[in-house]
Amino acid sequence: MTAKSWLTPTIIAVVALVLPFLLRDPYPQHILIMILIWATLGTAWNLLGGYAGQVSFGHAAFFGLGAYSAGLLFLHLKISTWWGMLLGPFVATAVAVPIGLICFRLRGPYFALATLALGEIFRLVFTNWVKFTHGAQGILILSTFPTKLPYYYIALAIWGLAMFTLNRLINSKLGYYFVSIREDQDAAESLGIPTTRYKMYAFLPSAFLAGLTGAFYMNYIAFIDPHVVFSLGDISVMVILVVMMGGVANPWGAPVGAAIYIALNEIFRAWLGSANVLAFGILVCLVILFLPNGVMGELGQIRRTAFRQKPAAAGGGQK
């Protein structure tokens, strides 16, 4: 790695570490935490959907499993929900294993459909298995910390872990294999790439990180119910929109998309009430029309247009 490639992450890390001291009110700190949650979930999705091209319509399943791992530990064993952050990611990963083993062998939209069904199945099971989950009533805990600050730093650490994992993976042989599989599975196989296995290598860390995010969410929000954490629209689909907004297969796509989503969410909610989701959807459509690679993916394009430069020789736009 060159000195320059360390510069941006270092600056961002320093800014992220001091930011809550500049924004001392709980409200902006809450906004920052929500951005970090979505940035982490989006990064998990991007690794699998953006790089390896395996589009999941059910990341709420893994997020929700992480959240409920924490919640149920408390409910049944009276163990601190923080242990859920240890258990949740492994539960999510364990559920991902059979799904991947079955779907990644098949051609066509099976994986997308299976993940879509998975999220909905968990939502229904957790709603109706009242004895075990408290059903739609949800699980309520007492917050551990009176201030936002500890939550902020935990969320930051989780996001950092996600960014580190993503960057380590995509800047290695695995990253090349992921993108090859996305671009042409037949070509990839004929180049000696065991495509089923490498899809798993993208899927399992993705599910793990989604589970971790969910477990943190339980601890932070202190309340979950199946319709929130297993939501198709508000989580599974929204995470795709967030990444598309920021930039699919771009390491900064999820964090930038998350920042835009959460910021707009707050602005629109004041104006539009519940129509804010619709407004965000329309904005994503506009982004797809005019910036098909998302804000980060088109950043080079935007800069060139702004400075009226000729485009450089076409180059590896994706990496």
**Site membership for another protein, residue 108 (CB under 8 A):** no
Residue number with CB closer to another protein (54 or 180)? 180
Does 1 bind another protein (CB under 8 A)? Our answer is no
Long-range contacts of 80-86 (CB under 8 A, 24+ apart): 80/144, 81/141, 81/144, 81/215, 81/218, 81/219, 82/144, 82/219, 84/215, 84/218, 84/219, 85/212, 85/215, 85/216, 85/219
Are residues 96 and 207 in contact, defined by beta-carbon separation less than 8 angstroms? Answer: yes
Q: Which stretch binds another protein (CB under 8 A): 25-33, 218-226, 273-281, 307-315?
A: 307-315
Contact (CB, 8 A) for 236 and 60: yes
- Of residues 227 and 304, the one with the C-beta less far from another protein: 304
Asked if residue 317 binds another protein (CB under 8 A), the reply is yes
**Contact status: 315 vs another protein (CB under 8 A):** yes
H/E stretch holding 223 reads strand 223-224
Rg (alpha carbons) of the chain, rounded to whole number: 20
Distance CA 288, CA 311 (A): 20
Strand partners, 139: 224
What minimum distance in Å lies between the beta carbon of 177 and another protein? 7
- Contact between 180 and another protein by CB under 8 A: the answer reads yes
Q: Which of 80/318 has CB closer to another protein?
A: 318
Task: Closer to another protein by CB, 51 or 68: give it.
Answer: 51
Binding status of residue 301 toward another protein by CB under 8 A: no
Burial of 227: CB neighbours in 10 Å, binned 0-12, 13-18, 19+: middle
User: Using CB under 8 A, which of the segments 37-45, 70-78, 183-191, 273-281 binds another protein?
Assistant: 183-191
> How many residues are recorded in the chain?
319
Residues of this chain, 184-213, that bind another protein according to CB under 8 A = 184, 186-195
CB of 283 to another protein, least distance (A): 25
CB of 191 to another protein, least distance (A): 5
The one among 129, 183, 282, 305 contacting another protein by CB under 8 A: 183
Among 34, 70, 103, 179, binds another protein (CB under 8 A): 179
2 binds another protein (CB under 8 A): no
173 binds another protein (CB under 8 A): yes
Residue with Cβ nearer another protein (53 or 84): 53
d(CA 68, CA 75): 10
Residue 166 CB partners (closer than 8 Å, separation 6+): 43, 46, 47, 251
Contacts to another protein by CB under 8 A:
171-173, 176-177, 179-180, 183-184, 186-195, 313-319
